[in-house]
Structure 1
Amino acid sequence: MAGTTVKAPRLLSLDIFRGITIAAMILVNNPGNDHVYAPLEHSVWNGCTPTDLIFPSFLFMVGVAIVYAMQNKRATISHSKLILNAFRRMVMLILIAWGIQMFYHPDLAHLRFPGVLQRIAVVYFIATVIYVKTNQKTQDWLFGIFLVGYYIIMTFIPVPDGHAANLDPETNMGAWLDRLVFGTNHLWRSSKTWDPEGLLGTLPAIGTAIFGIRVGTWIKRTDRDETTKTVWLFVYGIVAVLLGMLIDLFFPINKALWTSSFVLYAGGLSTLGLTLCYWVVDVNKHNKLLWPFLVFGTNSIAAYILIDIWPGLINLIKVHHDGKVVKAMSYYNQVVFAPNFSPINASMFFALSLVIITWLIMYPLYRNKILIRV
C-alpha cells in the first residue's frame, strides 16, 4: 500500500454514497450485545433487510468505479498492463483479508478462504477484465448469462452428492462445491458446511458489478444532459427492483445465495441511492451537509481495514471490572452504554460510537489529502 495525494474526485456522489455505505457497514457489524434492531440484522435466509444491501452496494460501486478509472485508460494503455494491475490488486486485497483473519484467529489449518473482501477482490478483477476486453453489448449478454445460468444451476441441476437441486443452506450446489474445493476447515466459522461468500455465488456477484458498470457508463455519457441521465437512472433502478420482486416469486431474494432476484433487487436500490446522491451532489451541488461521508468514501479501503483492526488492538488491553478481567471494548460498553440505555439502544449507541471513533481516526487522512491505495 502507498500513500498518495488525493485528486479531485471525478464523481463526488460516488464517494459520498460509498462513505454512507461504509458508515452503515460499521454500524451493523459492531453491535454492543445480542439485542439488535431488526433492520440492522441480516435476513435469516430468504428476504432482504437494509443490512443485506450493504455488501451488494460495494460490488455495484466497484463496477461504477471501474468505468471512471478505466474508460480513458483502456484506449491509451496496454490492456495486459491494466489487467495485470487489477490482478495485483486482487491478490493484495485477498492477502489483507487473510491477514486480518490471522490477527484474530492465528490458525492456518482453519483459515477461511472465502470472505467479503475476498469476493470484492475477485469480482473487481473479473469485472475489470470484462470491461477492458468487451463492449457494452457483450457486457449486457454476460449479465443475462450469469443470472440465467446461475438460476438454472441452482434450481434444475441435481447436486452431485445425491441431493436434488435445492436452495437450502447446507445442501445446495454452491455449498457442495465449497466443501469440495475448500474443505470444511476453510469455510465460514459459523457453519463449516457452507459459505455465504462461496465460489458459485461469485457468478451472480459479478453480475452486480456489471450492473454498476452499466450505470457508471450511463452517468459518464457526454451526449445526454444531467436531467435526462438522472430520470433514466431512476427508471432503471425502479424497473430492476420490480424485476427482482417478480423473479422472487420463483427464485427467492436471498443475500447468502446471491440469487439472481437479489442481484436485480439490490442493484436497483443501489442505482436509486447513487442517483439520489448524483442529483443532490453532482447536479445541484448541495454537498455541504454530506461532506463528512467523504472521510470514509475517499479512503474506503483504509476505513474497511481500520474498523477490522483497531477494536481488536484495543481489546489487547485487559481491565478489572466488577471482580472480573474483561476486554477494554467490553469495559467501555458496560460502563458507558449498558447502565444508561435499554439493551437494544445500548447496542445501537455502542455501534454508533464506533462509527464516530473510526471517523475521527480517519479524518486526519482526509484533512491532509492522504489516500491509502492497494
Structure 2
Amino acid sequence: MNLNRPGRFLSLDVFRGMTIAMMILVNNPGSWRYVFAPLDHAKWFGCTPTDLVFPFFLFAVGNAMSFSMKKYEALGQAAVLWKIFRRTALIFLISYAIHFYPFFRYDAVTHSWSHKFHLDHIRIMGVLQRIALAYCAAALLIHYLGLRRALLIGILILPAYWGLLMWLGDPGAQLTLEGNAVLKLDRFLFGPDHLYHGEGVPFDPEGVLSTLPAVSSVIFGYRAGVFIQQKGKSYECVAGLFLAGTLMLALALCWNPLFPIAKKLWTSSFVLYTTGLALYVIAVLIWLLEIRAWNPGNWSRFFTVFGKNPLFIYILADVVVLSYFAIPMTPGRNMYGWLYTVVFQPLFGNWMGSLAFAVFHVLLFWLVGLWLDRKKIYIRV
C-alpha cells in the first residue's frame, strides 16, 4: 500500500488512525474509578474529547466510502448492494460474537463449565451495530439518490430528529435520561432486558432512534471526502474545510441552548459540533502533511499503522480485553484487575497507573498493526 501514490491522502489515513488509537485509549483504563476527565464521557450534556471519538469514526467511515464507492459502482449495481449488505451483516455478526465471547465460563466453585449463549439478556444495539446501520443507510442513500439528495436528507434529518424527540418524549422531560424518546422506542422494540444498563436505568446510548442522526455523520464525512478529492492538496481545500467547519460549529453552538450537545442522545447539535471539529482536524492534517510535508521522524507512521486496519484492530482490542476478564489470576481477581493492581498501580499510582494501563494497550495493538502492515496484510470487513 503506497501512501504517496497520486490521489492518496496521508492526512486521511492519519485521521482514521488517530481515531482508532483514541478509541483504544479511552476504552481501556486500568480502573474506571481513576479516569481523567478528558478521557471520560460527559455525564449527559456537554462534550469531552472522548465524546469525539465515535462521531469521528463515523465521519471517517463516510470519508473512506467516498473513495471506494466509485470503484464498486463501476462493477454494477449488484456489486454495490452485495458490498453494502455483506459489510453490514458481517459487522452485526461480529458484534454479537463479541457479546458472547469467550462463549463459555468456568465456575471455580462448582468446577464446571457453562455456555454464555443466553439470548434473554443480549444487548441488541451497540457501537458496532450503530456503525453497521449508519454505514448501510448512508451508502444506500448515496447509491440510489446521489450525493446531492443524500446530503439534503442528511441535513433534514437533524431538525426532524429534534422534532421527534420533542414530540415523542415525556412532556417537559424530553431530553432527560428517563423521559427521552430514544429510551421509549428501544424499550418498546426490545424490552429493558436487551438495553445497556450502565446509566443506572436501562438505556442504550446507541439506540435505534438516535442512530438516525448518526447516518448524517456518515453522509457529511462522505461529502467532505468528495470535496477533498475535488480540491486536492491545496490551500483552497484547507480553506473550504475550515469554512464549513466554522459554519457547523456556529450552528451547533447557536442550537445548543435549545437542543443541547449530548453524545448519549446523539443530538443534532452534537452532530454539527463533532462534524465541525472533524473538518478542522482534517484541514490541519492536510496543511501539515500534504502541503507543508511536515513529518519529522515520520511521526505520521504511528497513526497510519492503525489506519490501515482500523476496524480489525478495534475488534481485536475488544476481544483481547474480554479475554482478560475470562482469565482468573487470584481468587476474586481476573487478569484485567491483576495487571492493573500488580503491575501498573504500584509503578505509577492510581490515576497515572490507570492511564499507563490504557497507553500500554494502545502500544500493544500498534505493534500488532505494525506487524500486519509489514506483512502487507490489510483486513477489510
Q: TM-score, normalised by structure 1?
A: 0.91
Name the CA distance, whole Å, in 1 between partners of 2:228 and 2:56: 17
Is residue 11 from structure 1 mapped to residue 18 from structure 2 by the alignment? no
Name the CA distance, whole Å, in 1 between partners of 2:318 and 2:300: 24
Contact 2:72 2:79 in 1 (8 A): no
Q: Deviations over 1:44-88 (max 9, x none)?
A: 0000000000000011111111111113543x2322420221111
RMSD: 1.9
In structure 1, what is the equivalent of residue 181 of structure 2?
A: 173
Count of matched residue positions in the alignment of Structure 1 and Structure 2? 361
In structure 2, what is the equivalent of residue 209 of structure 1?
A: 218
Name the CA distance, whole Å, in 1 between partners of 2:335 and 2:83: 40
Within the candidate set 279, 287, 293, 2:303 is matched to 293
In structure 2, what is the equivalent of residue 3 of structure 1?
A: none
Is residue 242 from structure 1 mapped to residue 250 from structure 2 by the alignment? yes
Aligned 1:259-270 pairs, distance under 5 A: 259-270=267-278
In structure 2, what is the equivalent of residue 112 of structure 1?
A: 123
Name the CA distance, whole Å, in 2 between partners of 1:164 and 1:14: 42
Name the CA distance, whole Å, in 1 between partners of 2:76 and 2:173: 43
Mind listing any 5+ residue stretches in structure 2 that lack a counterpart? 103-115
Shift of 1:329: 2.7
Name the CA distance, whole Å, in 2 between partners of 1:136 and 1:281: 28
SS of the counterpart of 1:24? helix
Name the CA distance, whole Å, in 2 between partners of 1:113 and 1:127: 21
Aligned 1:1-374 pairs, distance under 5 A: 6=1, 8=3, 10-33=8-31, 34-74=33-73, 76-103=74-101, 106-155=117-166, 157-159=167-169, 163=171, 166-191=174-199, 193-221=202-230, 226-287=234-295, 288-320=298-330, 324=331, 326-374=333-381
Between stretches 182-191 and 60-69, larger displacement belongs to 182-191
Matching residue's letter, 1:275: A
SS of the counterpart of 1:84? helix
Q: Deviations over 1:253-274 (max 9, x none)?
A: 0001111100000000011112
Matching residue's letter, 1:204: P
Name the CA distance, whole Å, in 1 between partners of 2:272 and 2:165: 17
Name the CA distance, whole Å, in 2 between partners of 1:39 and 1:269: 16
Q: TM-score, normalised by structure 2?
A: 0.90
Quick one: percent identity of the two aligned structures?
38
Between stretches 165-174 and 311-320, larger displacement belongs to 311-320
The list of structure 1 runs, each at least 4 consecutive aligned residues, that deviate by more than 4 angstroms after superposition, is: 6-9, 162-165
Shift of 1:27: 0.8
Matching residue's letter, 1:352: V
Matching residue's letter, 1:294: T
- In structure 2, relative to structure 1, the CA distance for the partners of 1:345 and 1:251 (3 Å cut) is same
Contact 1:19 1:296 in 2 (8 A): yes
Contact 1:150 1:260 in 2 (8 A): yes
Contact 1:158 1:164 in 2 (8 A): no
Contact 1:165 1:173 in 2 (8 A): no
Matching residue's letter, 1:48: C
